[in-house]
Amino acid sequence: MAIEVRIPTILRTYTDGAKAVDASGATIEELIGDLEARHPGIKARLVENDKLRRFVNVYLNDEDVRFLGGLGTPVSDGDTVTVLPAVAGG
């Protein structure tokens, strides 16, 4: 079983254009590590100094992981993880 990770347009160069890819792991950090193994280069776009990059938002089943446990947030099979760049509203 795997976890579906939705990839924003600007990072699809790493996933051969795929909008969503599968990855596995027990935490967001492991998930990103597995993504990196399958799609080299993507991790550096998401993580910097062991933290999510400032303008990258990652949602676990629509909830922002910064309010859950950051990169250490546990994930399990059947979850959906969505990556989005931070954009303005208003």
Partner 1 sequence: MRFDSLIESVGRTPLVGLPRLSPSADVRIWAKLEDRNPTGSIKDRPALWMIEQAEKDGVLSPGCTILEPTSGNTGISLAMSARLKGYKLICVMPENTSEERRQLLRMYGAEIISSPAAGGSNEAVRVAKGLAAEHPDWIMLYQYGNPANWRSHYESTGPEILDDLPTVTHFVAGLGTTGTLMGVGRYLREQKPDVKIVAAEPRYGELVYGLRNVDEGFIPEIYDESVLTTRYSVTSADALKRTRELLATEGIFAGISTGCALHAAIGMARKAVQEGERADIVFVVADGGWKYLSTGAYEGTLDEAEDRLEGQLWA
Residues binding partner 1 (CB under 8 A): 8-11, 45, 53-57, 59, 62-64, 66-68, 82, 84-90
The sign of the dihedral angle between the CA atoms of 51, 69, 67, 21 is positive
Contact present, 53 and 8 (Cβ < 8 Å) = no
Three-state SS at 16: coil
CB of 41 to partner 1, least distance (A): 13
Judged by CB, which is closer to partner 1: 9, or 76? Answer: 9
- Give the residue among 68, 2, 61, 7 at the shortest CA–CA distance from 30: 2
Judged by CB, which is closer to partner 1: 1, or 82? Answer: 82
Return all residues near 72 (Cβ < 8 A) that are at least 6 apart. Answer: 27, 28, 29
Judged by CB, which is closer to partner 1: 4, or 63? Answer: 63
CB of 42 to partner 1, least distance (A): 11
CB of 59 to partner 1, least distance (A): 5
